[in-house]
């Protein structure tokens, strides 16, 4: 079954003028950054959970602080992953 994105790209290639075609390089860079952000967010979540496990229940005042610690780890991981992903390990090689 074809994906919607593939169908859209094929329609744009057939019917759109050359000056209005989708720039493939921009979409690949955005996709690489999104892949990096997702990977970084997963690593950040795991890091936040590991920090919570290290601190223990006595070191955390409440549930909000625990959620905030994990969320900040995930956000930082996503930002770092987007930066590294757009230029680093998740980036596809250009021709």
Amino acid 73: pLDDT: 93
Domain that holds residue 65: 25-95
Asked if residue 67 belongs to a domain, the reply is yes
Is 0.85 topped by the overall pTM? no
Asked if residue 82 belongs to a domain, the reply is yes
- Residue pair 37/82 in contact (Cβ under 8 Å)? The answer is yes
Amino acid 78: pLDDT: 92
Asked if residue 2 belongs to a domain, the reply is no
Give the contacts of 45 (CB within 8 A, at least 6 positions apart): 70, 73, 74, 77
pLDDT in tens, 43-89: 999 999 999 999 887 888 888 999 999 999 999 999 998 888 777 66
Asked if residue 15 belongs to a domain, the reply is no
Average pLDDT over residues 16-27: 57
Asked if residue 42 belongs to a domain, the reply is yes
The total domain count for the chain is 1
Residue 91 has pLDDT above 70, yes or no: no
């Amino acid at each position: 079954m074809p994906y919607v994105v593939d169908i859209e790209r094929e329609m744009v290639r057939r019917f759109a003028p050359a000056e209005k075609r989708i720039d493939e390089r921009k979409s690949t860079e955005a996709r690489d950054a999104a892949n990096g952000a997702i990977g970084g967010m997963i690593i950040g979540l795991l890091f936040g959970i590991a920090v919570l496990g290290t601190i223990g229940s006595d070191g955390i005042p409440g549930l909000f602080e625990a959620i905030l610690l994990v969320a900040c780890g995930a956000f930082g991981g996503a930002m770092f992953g987007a930066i590294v992903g757009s230029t680093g390990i998740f980036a596809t090689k250009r021709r």
